[in-house]
Structure 1
Amino acid sequence: MKILGYRDADYESFVKRLNRRALPTHDVRDLVADIIAEVAGQGDKALVAYAKRFDNVELNAKKLFITPEELADVKVAPSTKKAVAASLKNIIAFAKGGLRKDWSMINAEGARVGERFQPFDRVGVYVPGGKAPLVSTALMTAGFAKAAGVPEIIAATPCGPDGKVNPELLYALKAAGVTEILKIGGAQAIAALALGTKTVKPVDRLFGPGNRFVVEAKRQLFGAVSIDLLPGPSEVLIISDKTGNPDYIAADLLAQAEHGGDSVIGFITDSKALIGKVVKAVEKQLLTLNRAKYIKEVLKQGTFILNVRNMAEAVEISNAFASEHVSLICADEKKWLPQIRTAGAIYLGNNSPVAVGDFLAGPSHTLPTGGSGRSFSGLRADQFQRRTSIVKLDKKSVRKSLEVVQEFARIEGLDAHGRSTAIRVE
């Protein structure tokens, strides 16, 4: 862990580097561009080749999807069914609260204007593979699509070398309303969902988190398809004054480090004494964890602890860093909470573990990372709705609109626009 205090010589330069921009490196950008071009040109053949190259699995065009028979035969423990049902219940309830409803009004000229909200016809949700089956991610993407009433939900997740997908993940996808499951991962899966192949029907919008290659594929394909946000490797930033419980803080740091890979973990406090207690708690708890190997890598490469001058400085750094998750633990919560503006999700107080948000609370854990929280919000139910504006005029409202329309038409040199309005009242 990198530990710095505000009196250290390199403190200011390190803090300045925390003001991130979610931009790809040249090698990631170029590799993803090549993958997209291959999928665009060769379709299913490219998907099969990349499955062999990256996932060491032999597939063909007929084996790219989980079959209905495979899905019907999925068996999981009763405890898994109970956990999935509990999480999905909260997700659906939260998502429905965020759905937009049709509305209309009469404008100043008497025209009726409004908006209509309908679910997208077909969406794609990406569920990362790797070291663990992300059952919760399946629920917190597809579950929102289900709540919005999307009729076709295709999930993409990499299969293992045996060509199979984890049964608990399959069960969760089925429970969340997924209608197709593509056994392909990575940038190639994003390309297939966006562009389509002979076997894969393209989607209207893409959702879900992934590694830097998946995120870059979504970025490059924006325009060919719409996307939700740029959710990459997991992040947490814990801000605490002296009231923070060191054991709880250590547990939250270790929980996020458990994701491994490119995860970023931060702890900021104005209490130097608390830093020492947290470091000791991290070292003690680490000895008891199954994934200590991956956690140690993240603690070494992707973890920082800062002793700041005061809470105002901590909040300023947080807004520059724009973390996926922010835990705020302080005596004056009402003062500091409104000042945190760029977090994907905020967890308040000593008794709000991020893990509950990851698995159960209701809001989606698909959140902006890499500094993109300045521009993006976390995944929401209304992102699964297509918004259409509606305008209806009668003769009276056309007549009242004519003078202004004709003036804009004159300014912009678009006389046909003015004429198309005038002709209705002449």
Structure 2
Amino acid sequence: MKILTYKDAEYPAFAQSLRRRAIPEDSVRDLVGEIISNVATNGDEALVELTQRFDGAALTREQLFISEEEFEAAEASVSAETREAVRRSLHNIHDFAHKSMRKDWSGKNAEGATVGERFTPFDRVGVYVPGGKAPLVSTALMTAGFAQAAGVPDIFAATPCGPDGTVNPALLFALRQAGVTEAIKVGGAQAIAAMALGTKTIAPVDRIFGPGNRFVVEAKRQLVGAVSIDLLPGPSEILILADDSAVPAYIAADLLAQAEHGGDSAVGFLTPSMELLEKVKKEVEEQTELLSRSKIIKEVLKTGTFLMHVESLAEGVRIVNEFAPEHLSLIVENEDEILAQIRTAGAIYLGPDSPVAVGDFLAGPSHTLPTGGAGRSFSGLRADQFQRRTSIVKMDKPAVAKSLSVIQEFARLEGLDAHGVSTSIRLER
């Protein structure tokens, strides 16, 4: 762990480095570009070849798809406890989604025209569910589950398989419960390319959702235009801002829970209390030894974890807004005052008894959130992102008459006389 106090000479430079931009490395950009080009040219054959290359699974073109028999076998094999966990999580997801969806509306403008908006679900969306070191069952629910709540009729999923060509049964069960209508055993940038561009066997989607590693995120970035995307959610991260009111053991547990994701995870803790920082450091070291993924956690603690003794809570807030964390845990006595100053976090967990894990699995909001500093520009996944917005305008003759002079003036300013005529003709004939 990197431990710094505001009195250290290197503190200002390190604090400045926490203002991040989600800009890919050249090597990542180039490799992803090659993968996209390969899928665009060779379609299903490219997916077969790339799945063998990156996942070690030798599949035929037909085996790229998860069969109905595989879905049925998965449903038959999952435990009652898994069924209940999926049911309760989906219940909260649907409830949260329904409350946050946009509703149709209409009204009159100043000239008497009827104006409004209507919101309809996308026809076909793609959801990406990472595989890698663990089956992210909750991610299936927190992407496809929102599409299901929004009424999307065709939900296509992509998730990587293991070297033996299988997908975890609990993940398959969750995908089906969340309304997935079709799925492939393909991961990485090639899965994003297939969903965006289509192949002989895969129809392209209207929009792509879901988190992934840096290659998945870069593929989404490069394919904007061919398809729309939700946001740029990459490796997991947490930032905790706390004062002396916090419990050190709780803070350490939340830091380790995020470090458990491994890879390029970012884990940070800010406090104006050096005493609290030392206690948290001790708890992290002790708790790590008790966890099953301690080897993975230790790598993240070594390369992606920082504990900072800041001069004040105000300085901590400044760093939070610069860092734009995916998850922010805020444990301070003057909670409302500090919360009002936070602008860029993807999700905020308030108080000592709000573990980030409840947001990962159960609370209701999606855990698909912006990372790598993208929180300054993007919000987390929401139900209304599965809705297509269409504006509505309806006019009668009196409204046309009241609007004509303004339309004609803009037409004159912009040299578009046909625009003016298209309005005036409705009053002349």
TM over 0.5: yes
- Distance in 2 between residues matched to 1:68 and 1:320, nearest whole Å: 47
- Distance in 2 between residues matched to 1:274 and 1:244, nearest whole Å: 8
Further displaced range: 64-73 or 21-30: 64-73
TM-score (norm 1): 1.00
The aligned residue for residue 412 of structure 2 is: 410
The aligned residue for residue 43 of structure 1 is: 43
Q: Kindly, what percent of the aligned residue pairs are identical?
A: 69
Deviations 1:385-426, CA, capped at 9 Å, x for gaps: 000000011111111111000000000000011111111111
The one of 139, 143, 146 aligned to 1:144: 146
- Distance in 1 between residues matched to 2:164 and 2:16, nearest whole Å: 46
Q: In the alignment, residue 67 of structure 1 is paired with which amino acid?
A: S
The aligned residue for residue 377 of structure 1 is: 379
Deviations 1:367-395, CA, capped at 9 Å, x for gaps: 00000000000000000000000001111
Deviations 1:65-102, CA, capped at 9 Å, x for gaps: 11112111212010000000010100000000011110
Superposed, 1:23-422 pairs within 5 Å as 23-74=23-74, 75-422=77-424
How far the C-alpha of 1:162 sits from its partner, in A, is 1.2
How far the C-alpha of 1:258 sits from its partner, in A, is 0.1
- Distance in 2 between residues matched to 1:25 and 1:176, nearest whole Å: 35
- Distance in 2 between residues matched to 1:141 and 1:364, nearest whole Å: 7
- Provide the secondary structure at the position in 1 that maps to 2:328: strand
How far the C-alpha of 1:317 sits from its partner, in A, is 0.2
How far the C-alpha of 1:263 sits from its partner, in A, is 0.2
How far the C-alpha of 1:311 sits from its partner, in A, is 0.2
How far the C-alpha of 1:63 sits from its partner, in A, is 1.0
- Distance in 1 between residues matched to 2:70 and 2:237, nearest whole Å: 35
- Distance in 1 between residues matched to 2:364 and 2:337, nearest whole Å: 26
- Distance in 2 between residues matched to 1:414 and 1:217, nearest whole Å: 40
- Distance in 1 between residues matched to 2:62 and 2:132, nearest whole Å: 24
How far the C-alpha of 1:357 sits from its partner, in A, is 0.5
Further displaced range: 15-24 or 59-68: 59-68
Deviations 1:216-245, CA, capped at 9 Å, x for gaps: 000000011000000000000000011110
- Provide the secondary structure at the position in 1 that maps to 2:155: strand
- Distance in 2 between residues matched to 1:188 and 1:3, nearest whole Å: 39
How far the C-alpha of 1:61 sits from its partner, in A, is 1.4
- Distance in 2 between residues matched to 1:26 and 1:73, nearest whole Å: 43
Q: In the alignment, residue 299 of structure 1 is paired with which amino acid?
A: L
- Distance in 1 between residues matched to 2:241 and 2:73, nearest whole Å: 46
- Provide the secondary structure at the position in 2 that maps to 1:81: helix
- Distance in 2 between residues matched to 1:355 and 1:70, nearest whole Å: 29
Q: In the alignment, residue 392 of structure 1 is paired with which amino acid?
A: K
- Distance in 2 between residues matched to 1:68 and 1:387, nearest whole Å: 34
TM-score (norm 2): 0.99
- Distance in 2 between residues matched to 1:160 and 1:198, nearest whole Å: 24
- Distance in 2 between residues matched to 1:368 and 1:174, nearest whole Å: 26
- Provide the secondary structure at the position in 2 that maps to 1:50: helix
How far the C-alpha of 1:140 sits from its partner, in A, is 0.3
- Distance in 1 between residues matched to 2:251 and 2:297, nearest whole Å: 15
- Provide the secondary structure at the position in 2 that maps to 1:247: helix
What is the number of residues matched between the two proteins?
426
Deviations 1:24-67, CA, capped at 9 Å, x for gaps: 01000010011001000110011001000000011121111111
- Provide the secondary structure at the position in 1 that maps to 2:239: strand
Q: In the alignment, residue 235 of structure 1 is paired with which amino acid?
A: E
Q: In the alignment, residue 66 of structure 1 is paired with which amino acid?
A: I
Q: Give the unaligned 5+ runs of structure 1.
A: none
Q: In the alignment, residue 289 of structure 2 is paired with which amino acid?
A: L
- Distance in 2 between residues matched to 1:385 and 1:143, nearest whole Å: 14
Q: In the alignment, residue 162 of structure 2 is paired with which amino acid?
A: G
- Provide the secondary structure at the position in 1 that maps to 2:138: helix
Q: In the alignment, residue 281 of structure 2 is paired with which amino acid?
A: V
Deviations 1:179-230, CA, capped at 9 Å, x for gaps: 0111100000000000000011100000000000000000000011000000
- Distance in 1 between residues matched to 2:290 and 2:10, nearest whole Å: 34
How far the C-alpha of 1:154 sits from its partner, in A, is 0.5
- Distance in 2 between residues matched to 1:308 and 1:339, nearest whole Å: 17
- Distance in 2 between residues matched to 1:398 and 1:189, nearest whole Å: 50
Q: Root-mean-square deviation (CA), in Å?
A: 0.5
Runs of 4+ in 1 over 4 A off after TM superposition: none
Q: In the alignment, residue 205 of structure 1 is paired with which amino acid?
A: R
How far the C-alpha of 1:307 sits from its partner, in A, is 0.3
- Distance in 2 between residues matched to 1:247 and 1:67, nearest whole Å: 45
- Provide the secondary structure at the position in 1 that maps to 2:141: helix
Q: In the alignment, residue 40 of structure 2 is paired with which amino acid?
A: A
- For the pair 1:5 / 2:12, whether they are aligned, the reply is no
The aligned residue for residue 16 of structure 1 is: 16
